[in-house]
A and B are shown apart, each in its own frame.
Chain A
Amino acid sequence: MLSRRTFAGAALLGAALGLAAAVGASVTAAEQPKTVAVTAIVEHPALDAARKGIKDELAAEGYLEGRDLKLEFESAQGSPATAAQIAQKFVGEKPDVIVPISTPSAQAVVGATKSIPVVFTAVTDPVGAKLVPNLEHPGGNVTGMSDLSPIRLHLDLIKEIMPKATHLGVIYNPGEANSMTLLNLLQKEAPGHGLSLVGAPAPRSADVLAAAQSLVGDVDAIYVPTDNTVVTALEAIVKIGTDNQLPVFAGDTDSVPRGAIAALGFNYYDLGRQTGKIVARVLKGEKPGDLPVESIKTTQLFVNPGAAKAMGITLPDSVIKRAKVVVG
């Protein structure tokens, strides 16, 4: 019994490998249209939107799927081991560009090839993830886009609305990796904007009220970064802001209808469009290593003039005119 089963199993495996080789051959034979291989760690609304953005931008750049472009997509369905296998598969197929979406997918792809051009996207901290040695001139075969909050633009906005502000309070959860990255970036950017930062840590949502209270008297405005713990308790911060005439700014646009006076957000479709532009440049022959890692350029401004009035300031007309959404 053992031998027959073993034989059957081996035969099945053999057939599988044979068919696999045939499939592989057919994939590598066609060379004419450009191939772009996209992979994401999991199906997710934001990541799917980014993928759609990449496809649409490539079409706008003249790479129409099916005609000038072979666009391949694989999802690891949440499994990093599968992400590693997808990376190997793509490297074996030698596409013109590999586009990994999300940090684990990007790490798997960058670990698997040193020669095929890679344009990653939706990675918060590309340097910390060791995808590139620096953002300005990555060198090698890798470049891409970060989905980090556009902190500099956020500070620009705060200064535009409150030119006299000198002290900015920031409430954050020290246990959230993303928030610590944002805080480091804020600390780097704030002096250039004539702001000094006052941090108020809140490890749990229940601590947010006390953290906001601790800022009263020390700051001119409060900035709420995209921190899950803190955003959950936004209403507490808005209350402190209203009671003490401290304008509250947010990092995400969803917080504006909840009482923050203004926020500059972005969506993952636009992130995908911008990534598509980089992919197109690489397809046209530019070296990924020469292209700086980009951060989001297309943003949407949400403002809440009612909340601004309650917190003792008036939003400049230029800001309200620019806003995509005016709440209240």
Chain B
Amino acid sequence: MNQVALFGAIEIGLIYGLVALGVLLSFRVLNFPDLTVDGSFPLGAAVAASAIVNGTNPYFATLLAILAGALAGLVTALLNVRFRILHLLASILTMIALFSINLRIMGRPNVALLGEPTVLTPFEGLGVRSMLLRPALVGIAVALVMLLLTRFLASDYGLALRATGANPRMARAQGIATGRAICLGMALSNALVALAGALFAQTNGFADITIGTGTIVVGLAAVIIGETLLPARRLGAAVVATVLGSILYRLAVAFALNAHVLGLEASDLNLVTAVLVGVALVLPGARDPLRTLLGRRARA
């Protein structure tokens, strides 16, 4: 792995860290298995890219993307809360609908941003190498989101959200409008995912209809890697662990890209990534990895 690849992995890990935070909010805090993510990530990219190409200020375009993501999350939440559709199915419906909507927004399957102004443009004249500039700026944005999210989860609204996820009956008994809490949480979750999509499109120079595929898998993997490596009871720590988990996942991919040294082929990439992540999950907790594996098998 070279320097550019390392910083690139960190940058993409940070961006997908926002996806992972969204997933943390839906799956863990709200206990709402939400697959909307596969649609709201490209939605964010599509809205931001189309708005920028049409001359909108990149910061305003990113804000539009965040709002679009929130709307997508709200639709899933309303399908569940209002129309009593099973949460998983509600999110699948929104996800597949978003595929067509994203095509409508872009007007074609791929919108290029190469050479267009992006949120990074104002900082490009500062003389910092783009290899460092991009992860630094994305890092600042993600740190800001982490701070705001942690504070939000500790506020009255945030506590209502957590109570809804932990025990909805109890929450209702305490006078919490759980339906509203689900709507708020899902909107927030998908807003974060759409923000990630908008940043991805702007840092990499394109929005493509296919960029959403598998987003939920990557987000979930990051959440679980974070939980395993940094088991924390406090939500603030879980937020940090989630973003670290996402970066670690991307480092595993960057690592797998160098697996030729071991005589592996390009087509083995996903397998190597999976093995690396698996090893990272199993090793730390085990004095004797072999015994852990056998022990787990015995228990299962």
Q: Is the CB of A74 within 8 A of B229?
A: no
A64-121 interface (Cβ within 8 A of B)? 72-75, 77-82, 84-89, 91-93, 103-104, 107-108, 110-112
Name B residues whose Cβ lies closer than 8 Å to a Cβ of A: 1-9, 12, 16, 108-110, 112-116, 200, 203-206, 208, 210-211, 213-214, 218, 229-232, 248, 250-251, 253-255, 257-258, 260-261, 266-267, 269-270, 280, 283-285
Q: Is the CB of B255 within 8 A of A81?
A: no
- In the complex, what residue of chain A is closest to B257 when comparing beta carbons? A89
Assembled-state Cα–Cα distance A81/B251 (Å): 12
- B258: chain A residues at CB < 8 Å are 20, 23, 89
Pick the contact of A177: B8, B109, B251 (CB < 8 A).
Answer: B109
Q: Is the CB of B204 within 8 A of A84?
A: yes
Q: Is the CB of A81 within 8 A of B200?
A: yes
- In the complex, what residue of chain B is closest to A88 when comparing beta carbons? B8
Nearest Cβ in chain B — how far from A172, in angstroms?
A: 15
Q: Is the CB of A107 within 8 A of B206?
A: yes
CB of A130 within 8 Å of the partner chain:
yes
- B12: chain A residues at CB < 8 Å are 81, 84-85
- B255: chain A residues at CB < 8 Å are 16, 20
Q: Is the CB of B210 within 8 A of A78?
A: yes
CB of A28 within 8 Å of the partner chain:
yes
Q: A23-B261, A78-B213, A110-B205 are in contact. Are A5 and B266 (CB under 8 A)?
A: no
Q: Is the CB of B211 within 8 A of A131?
A: no
- A128: chain B residues at CB < 8 Å are 108, 112
Which of A6-14, A186-194, A202-210, A285-293 lies on the face that meets chain B?
A6-14
Q: A24-B2, A131-B114 are in contact. Are A111 and B251 (CB under 8 A)?
A: no
Q: Is the CB of B206 within 8 A of A104?
A: yes
- B208: chain A residues at CB < 8 Å are 80, 103-104, 107
- A9: chain B residues at CB < 8 Å are 229-230, 280, 284
Assembled-state Cα–Cα distance A129/B285 (Å): 47
Q: Is the CB of B284 within 8 A of A8?
A: yes
Pick the contact of B114: A13, A43, A75, A107 (CB < 8 A).
Answer: A107
CB of A30 within 8 Å of the partner chain:
no
Q: Is the CB of B257 within 8 A of A5?
A: no
CB of A21 within 8 Å of the partner chain:
yes
Q: Is the CB of A110 within 8 A of B114?
A: yes
- A81: chain B residues at CB < 8 Å are 12, 16, 200, 211, 218, 250
Q: Is the CB of A111 within 8 A of B280?
A: no
